Amino acid sequence: MDLDLIKTELQKQDFYYRLQAIVALKDYPAEVALPLLKNHFQDPEFVVRSFVARQLGIYHTPESSAILIQLLKDNNPNVRAEAANSISLFGDSTAPDLVKIFLSDKHWLVRISVMAALIDMARHAEVLEVCIHGVADEDETVQETSVDGFISLVGSHQRTAALSQLLTLKDSELPHIRIRVARALKHFDEPEAKAAILQLRQDPDHRVVGAAMEDLLP
């Protein structure tokens, strides 16, 4: 899209046109795109702010980083989640910052986005840390995603620590956690993992039993 047209579209009242213009900025260098994106990081439409946050991940500059930090304070979790994901694109050095975002932002969407980013970055120590915190979250989705996150550590130096967490969680009072644990443990071939699966096949909740026996089904 022509730059003059982009500038025109960004001024239109219908946010659809602003979205199209923001996406089109990906074809322009930072010195052109950032000033225009900066003008819309406080756009009245949260979806526009989300698109701005996503686009900022393309430009690894101090200015882009500064805007993303501001977007982490946005009142909409979709915007904050996009900002966190974009920050992860700046490289491994952002992993400690992502952990801080996870610990400070309690919204499930932001937390899941941070987990996914850290897993994609293969930052195993940080994945372990956020998953340990995540299983204690009040949100069921975060709890389940955290249990699943331990699976990503099977081939890492955090394997033993991940298995230890799962073995503790097999005795959780929450059936949905035990279901996820039963499935996660199948990725480990340690004797204690196999013993735990046998225990879960005797679980009082039939859904847990089913999850623990899924590998036996034809």
Q: pLDDT per residue over 157-215, tens digit each?
A: 999 999 999 999 999 999 999 999 999 999 999 999 999 999 999 999 999 999 999 87
Residues 27 and 126 in one domain: no
Residues 125 and 18 in one domain: no
Residues 135 and 204 in one domain: yes
- Round to whole Å and give the CA distance between 51 and 173: 40
Domain that holds residue 78: 1-90
User: Collapsing DSSP states into helix, strand and coil, what is residue 150?
Assistant: helix
- Round to whole Å and give the CA distance between 67 and 80: 12
Residues 172 and 108 in one domain: yes
- Round to whole Å and give the CA distance between 92 and 139: 28
Residue corresponding to tokens 């949260």: 46
Residues 142 and 195 in one domain: yes
Counting the structural domains of the chain, the total is 2
Residues 98 and 81 in one domain: no
Residues 42 and 121 in one domain: no
Q: pLDDT per residue over 98-124, tens digit each?
A: 999 999 999 999 999 999 999 999 999
The confidence score (pLDDT) of residue 218 equals 58
pTM assigned to the model: 0.93
Residue from 178, 186, 184 nearest 209 by CA: 178
* Final residue of a structural domain among 33, 59, 90: 90
H runs (alpha helix) in the chain: 3-9, 15-24, 30-38, 46-56, 62-71, 77-88, 95-104, 108-120, 124-134, 140-149, 159-169, 175-185, 191-200, 206-212
CATH number at residue 159: 1.25.10.10
